[in-house]
């Protein structure tokens, strides 16, 4: 598959102590949605800013659309669009004026900018509000205008930095639909998110980053296979922890402890796993103080990817089993 983005050994330091990117490498194929998944502070925005030529890396090589972001920054800028974590729109201009202005910055003539603005406005569904000042918009509407502005130059590659953070659930779905449409139209989208479900919904390939490094990469299915479709959490009294781990180990070797007192296991069969677990505990005369079955979160994925305290390790060294 053709790679539209290559990142090799990128290091970015801030000040003395912080290595926001710590030797990051990844390849992104053309024509997909690539999800960069990671917690706050992982380095997602730093990477997006480097890809979008707003920041330069201290070390490493970055190519976008076959161009070197450092030496051919101008040419890269002509091929990309960026919508940020904080919608960068001017509140005193109308929605339409904001988008036209960005079109002009992309080098479109006044007439072209007007025409393209109409096209993207149609697409994002701001409607009559396009003629109102942006400061009167809701957060979700601002996001959409920001997204529309990033599309006006017909980018080959679109970077979206947490496009739905702080957006209400209904607008979130609309933004998702819009992103899917774009990719159907041939754009490659790189989006960052802190939400596993968002990456799962949208991305063809997900890179998990933490502390400025790629921790894991794969399809949503591959990523979720680490946790299973659901996760079971059991609160167990302290004195019965070890016995509980042993009892659960028979049905789920990958059980682990999240906090003192909370045991977590992948629930491959959902409610059936829950029933098995309760029966196994009951046979060992253990009664959980709380039980929950939930869809895997980013936390669960991280724990599943990084845990060293699966049941095997736990049985060998129960005291060292807390993450």
**How many C-beta atoms lie closer than 10 Å to residue 309's C-beta?**
20
Closest approach, Cβ 159 to Mg ion, in A, equals 12
Q: Which residue, 242 or 299, has its beta carbon nearer to Mg ion?
A: 299
Binder of residue 63, out of Mg ion, ligand ADP, none (CB less than 5 to 8 A by kind): none
What is the nearest approach in angstroms of Mg ion to the Cβ of residue 12? 13
Least Å from the CB of residue 40 to ligand ADP: 5
Q: Which is nearer to ligand ADP, 160 or 248 (CB)?
A: 160
Nearer to Mg ion, 43 or 155 (CB): 43
CA distance 218 to 224: 10
Closest contact distance (angstroms) between CB of 298 and ligand ADP is: 12
Minimum CB distance to ligand ADP, residue 28 (Å): 17
- Which CB sits closer to ligand ADP, 166 or 320? 166
| Partner residues linked to 190 by β-bridges | 34, 159
- The CB density around residue 10, as the number of other CB atoms within 10 Å, is 24
Q: Which residues contact 30 (CB under 8 A, 6 or more apart)?
A: 1, 2, 3, 4, 188
Q: Which does 40 bind (CB under 5 to 8 A by kind): Mg ion, ligand ADP, none?
A: ligand ADP
Q: Of these partners, ligand ADP, Mg ion, none, which one is at the site of residue 46 (CB under 5 to 8 Å by kind)?
A: ligand ADP
Nearer to Mg ion, 37 or 244 (CB): 37
Minimal distance, residue 203 CB to Mg ion, in Å: 17
Shortest distance (Å) from residue 213 CB to Mg ion: 16
Q: CA 255: distance to chain centroid?
A: 26
3-state class of 232 per DSSP?
Answer: strand
CA dihedral 276, 282, 288, 293 (to 10 degrees): 10
C-alpha closest to that of 6 among 62, 72, 44: 62
Neighbours of 109 (CB within 10 A): 10
* Residue 241 interacts with which of Mg ion, ligand ADP, none, CB < 5 to 8 Å by class: none
Given the complex with ligand ADP, which of 19 and 258 has the nearer CB atom? Answer: 19
Q: Which does 150 bind (CB under 5 to 8 A by kind): ligand ADP, Mg ion, none?
A: none
Residue (of 147, 205, 212, 168) closest to 11 by Cα position: 212
| CB closer to Mg ion, 45 vs 216 | 45
Q: C-beta of 20: minimal distance to ligand ADP in Å?
A: 3
In this structure, how many other beta carbons lie within 10 angstroms of the beta carbon of residue 111? Answer: 8
Judged by the rule CB under 6 A, the positions of this chain that interact with ligand ADP are: 14-15, 18, 20, 38, 40-46
Compare residues 20 and 182 and give the one whose CB is closer to ligand ADP: 20
The item of Mg ion, ligand ADP, none sharing an interface with residue 38, based on CB under 5 to 8 Å by kind, is ligand ADP
What contacts 51, CB < 8 A, 6 or more positions away? 5, 7, 62, 64, 69, 80, 159, 190
- Binding residues (CB under 5 A) for Mg ion: these are 44-45
Nearest alpha-carbon partner for 7 in 27, 33, 22: 27
- 14 makes contact, choosing from ligand ADP, Mg ion, none, with CB < 5 to 8 Å by partner type, with ligand ADP
φ and ψ at residue 112, rounded to 5 degrees: -60, -45
């Amino acid at each position: 598959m053709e790679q539209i983005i290559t990142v090799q050994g990128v290091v970015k330091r801030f000040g003395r102590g912080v290595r926001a990117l710590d030797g990051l490498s990844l390849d992104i194929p053309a024509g997909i949605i690539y999800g960069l998944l990671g917690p706050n502070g992982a380095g997602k925005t730093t990477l997006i800013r480097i890809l979008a030529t707003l920041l330069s890396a201290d070390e490493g090589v970055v190519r976008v659309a076959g161009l070197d972001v450092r030496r051919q920054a101008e040419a890269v800028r002509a091929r990309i669009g960026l919508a940020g974590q904080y919608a960068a729109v001017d509140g005193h201009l109308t929605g339409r004026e904001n988008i036209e202005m960005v079109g002009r910055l992309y080098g479109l003539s006044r007439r072209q900018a007007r025409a393209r603005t109409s096209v993207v406005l149609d697409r994002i569904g701001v409607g009559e509000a396009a003629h109102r000042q942006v400061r009167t918009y809701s957060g979700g509407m601002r996001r959409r205008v920001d997204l529309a502005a990033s599309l006006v130059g017909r980018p080959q590659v679109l970077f979206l930095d947490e496009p739905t953070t702080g957006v209400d659930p209904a607008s979130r779905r609309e933004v998702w639909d819009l992103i899917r449409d774009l990719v159907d139209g041939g754009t490659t989208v790189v989006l960052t998110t802190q939400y596993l479900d968002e990456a799962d919904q949208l991305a063809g390939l997900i890179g998990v980053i933490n502390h400025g490094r790629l921790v894991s990469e794969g399809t949503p299915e591959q990523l979720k296979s680490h946790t299973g479709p659901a996760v079971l959490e059991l609160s167990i009294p302290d004195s019965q922890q070890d016995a509980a781990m042993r009892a659960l180990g028979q049905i789920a070797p990958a059980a682990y402890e999240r906090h003192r007192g909370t045991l977590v296991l992948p629930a491959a069969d959902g409610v059936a796993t829950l029933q098995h677990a309760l029966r196994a505990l009951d046979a060992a005369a253990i009664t959980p103080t709380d039980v929950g079955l939930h869809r895997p979160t980013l936390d669960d994925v991280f724990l599943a990817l990084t845990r060293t305290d699966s049941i095997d390790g736990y049985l060998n060294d129960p005291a060292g089993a807390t993450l």
